[in-house]
Structure 1
Amino acid sequence: MTPDRVLGDGYTAQQLDLGADSEGPVIATLIHRERAAADTAERDIDSASRPPILVMHGWSDYVFDRGLLEHLGTRGHDVWALDLRKYGRSLLPGQTPTSIDHLSRYDREIGQALRIIGPGTPPVLLAHSTGGLIAALWAQRRPGTVRALALNSPWLEMHLGPGARTLADGPVRLLADRLQHRPILPPGSTHFARTTHRKYGGQYEYDLDWKPERGHRFPADTFAAVIDGQKRLRAAGPLPIPVLVLHSARTRIGAKFTEEMRRADSVLDVRSLVHAARGLGPDVRIEAVDGARHDVFLSDADARARSLHFLEDWLETISS
């Protein structure tokens, strides 16, 4: 492990060798927060009862929210994070950002990460957006490997629900066979970046090469892999582990930026998300966070605090 140049002091990173694909060598990056004696001393917390937490990012994203990781660490959790292949720290020269032909390929880096964290201590996966879909599929395929799922606006279903996904499935697969990792969609909007990044007066700083204002160009193979993953998730049986789903209380998606987008999900359709989340299993807690953005932890201070409160309260229930 080496010091992590993104998060700074107290964080290390190590590369996970994933072999090679048609674009060359492939790696993922596992980040670890070094535990400090002061983490639990002031709060009288028994850290042994707290599960580790593995944080996973969304599409066109990477792990950079040190404040979230510190918050979890000071509450007794052993905190880890994973930049998936072709994202953030793991993006190598010559690679197509975010390109993947099947979401199950991420099993390799998730499996390696869990082995390093330790087989005797299954972690909670705290995963955002597309990462939430990947985490849910992992938990279904690999029962017993994770303690629980905490999903931050997970991309469990397409806009307008399963009917829209079914209509898109065939054409997208045909285009993916032809285009592979070439883009299938036009560039996205800058709406989310305008509500979060300091360049636009927001509260958060992140690398616009790794998390571009309009997102990376969406590869055809990745879009097909997401639709396939959503289809498999819907067809799978219920998860036997606790699940928390946090999401914005409202959706505001449109071609033109509006001020309402500062306190809404401007990326995903909340109604489709919630409908899919209800089918994840018998122990699912769904919390609408008033004023939250697509990434609930990158919201204004009041909505971020509400999101952290819901997360803390749920973690207490599964740790007791």
Structure 2
Amino acid sequence: MPHVRAHTLDGTRGELAVREWPHPAPRFLALLAHGYGEHAGRYDALAAVLTGHGGAVYAPDHMGHGRSAGERVLIEDFEDVVTDLHAVAELAGAARPGLPLVLVGHSMGGLIAARYAQRYGARLRALILSGPVIGAWELPGRLLALPRIPDTPVSPSALSRDPEVGAAYAADPLVWHGPMKRPTLQAFVRALDAVAEGGAVPGLPLLWLHGDDDRLVPLPGSRIGVERLSGGDLTERIFHGARHEVFHETVKDEAFAETVRFLDRVLPR
């Protein structure tokens, strides 16, 4: 497991906990945006791959998640989360000025990363989306139509075919195991619309990774958003039988290898 440093930033809605997986002489910087209800600490394995390939890696716990401040899983405006992520990018850039920046977003983090690319794309060298919540995602609308949000947490078995992943997720005290909250669902709807209206990000290489058995964020809906966001340089890899978290799946080594190949193509030597 790579060494980790902890930082605390002033976020838009309170203190923001940030993890750094350092590299003594990095050739690029990587930002990681985690998914709904989880936290950056679940990405040690991906960070190890990125640091092993020359990256210095930074990842916040989004507001209301992990060790960051705020009511649990409450996000009222995803624009604030994007602003927080940019503060982390500035932290990384101040420590290592001039290095190319790569952004990796998973699930809800894919939504945040897509909007980040639309707002700050000139700063990015590459974008990697894993099971991203963009395009046509029906869950928020279905839940908002109900008079009461059901107390149905994310099923650990929906994440990966590896039972150890589900067991670790279920036992993790920093993971939210309760229901979704109405203001967060409303914010999802607005953010999905914002990304759709924001259009493509020309000139930004995009890698899209997705499992074709993803029942949390179904592949066809994400494809609509990915193709709308792509400025023409799109690489996709769909993993047969994989569920929502390809970086924690039984095919994780293939997902890591695809990520490294993509970085080798788009980053300067």
Please report the TM-score for the alignment, with normalisation by the length of structure 1.
0.73
Distance apart, 1:71 and its partner CA:
1.3
SS in 2 for 1:287: strand
Give the 4+ runs in structure 1 shifted more than 4 A. Answer: 193-197, 204-207
Find the aligned partners of 2:189 and 2:77 in 1 and give their Cα distance: 10
Tell me, in whole angstroms, the C-alpha distance in 1 between the residues paired with 2:22 and 2:165. Answer: 31
Q: 1:58 to 1:19 in 2, by over 3 A?
A: closer
Q: How many residues align?
A: 261
8 A Cα contact 1:99 1:221, kept in partner: yes
Aligned to 2:23: 35
DSSP 3-state at the match of 1:276: helix
1:211 to 171, 175, 189: 175
| Partner in structure 1 of residue 217 of structure 2 | 268
Letter in 2 for 1:100: I
Whether the aligned pair in 2 keeps the contact of 1:114 and 1:122 (CA below 8 Å) is no
1:313 and 2:229 matched: no
Tell me, what secondary structure is at the counterpart of 1:61?
Answer: coil
Pair 10,108 (structure 1): closer, same or farther in 2 beyond 3 Å: same
Name the CA distance, whole Å, in 1 between partners of 2:178 and 2:98: 37
Equivalent position amino acid for 1:218 in 2 = M
What secondary structure is seen at the aligned counterpart in 2 of 1:65?
Answer: helix
Query: Which residue of the partner structure matches residue 255 of structure 1?
Result: none
Amino acid at match of 2:39: Y
Q: In structure 2, what is the equivalent of residue 154 of structure 1?
A: 132
Looking at structure 1, the residues matched to 158 and 66 of structure 2 have their Cα atoms a distance apart, in angstroms, of: 18
1:245 aligns with one of 204, 208, 217: 208
Residue pair 2:8, 2:17 contacting (<8 A) in 1 also: yes
In terms of Rg, which structure is larger? 1
Q: Is the counterpart of residue 130 in structure 1 residue 108 in structure 2?
A: yes
Give CA-to-partner distance per residue, 1:10-64, whole Å, 9 cap, x none: 21111112265xxxxx221121113257xxxxxxxxx53xx21111100011122
Post-superposition offset of 1:189: 4.9
Question: Which whole-Å CA distance do the structure 1 matches of 2:49 and 2:170 have between them?
Answer: 19
> Could you tell me the percent identity over the aligned residues?
23
Could you list the runs of 5+ residues in structure 2 that have no partner in the other structure? none
Equivalent-residue separation in structure 1 for 2:162 and 2:71 (angstroms)? 25
Q: Which residue of 1 aligns with 2:244?
A: 294
Contact 1:11 1:32 in 2 (8 A): yes
Instruction: Supply the RMSD in Å over aligned alpha carbons.
Output: 2.8
Partner of 1:43: none
2:6 corresponds to 1:13: yes
The structural deviation recorded for 1:205 is 6.2
Residue ranges of structure 1 left out of the alignment (5+ in a row) = 1-6, 21-25, 38-46, 252-264
Kindly state the Cα deviation for residue 237 of structure 1 after the two structures are TM-superposed: 2.4
| Residue aligned with 2:121, SS | coil
Which letter does structure 1 place at the counterpart of 2:254? R
Distance in 2 between residues matched to 1:185 and 1:147, nearest whole Å: 41
Pick closer, same or farther for the CA change 1:144–1:61 going to 2, 3 Å: same
Residues 248-296 of structure 1 deviation map (CA, whole Å, 9 limit, x = unaligned): 1x23xxxxxxxxxxxxx23111111122211112112121022322010
1:67 maps to 2:32: no
Q: Contact between 1:56 and 1:126, CA under 8 Å: does it hold in 2?
A: yes
- Contact 2:12 2:80 (8 Å CA) reproduced: no
Q: Which amino acid aligns with 1:272?
A: G
Shift of 1:197: 5.4
Contact kept, 8 Å, 1:291 with 1:299, in 2: the verdict is no
- The alignment partner of 1:279 has SS state of helix
Q: CA deviation at 1:103?
A: 0.6
- Look up the SS of the partner of 2:228 in the other structure: coil
1:80–1:138 CA distance, 2 compared to 1 (3 A) = same
Contact 1:97 1:216 in 2 (8 A): no
Amino acid at match of 2:21: R
DSSP 3-state at the match of 1:278: helix
Conserved 8 A contact 1:197-1:206: no
Q: How far apart are the structure 2 equivalents of 1:238 and 1:124? A: 17
Separation in 2 of the partners of 1:206 and 1:65? 16
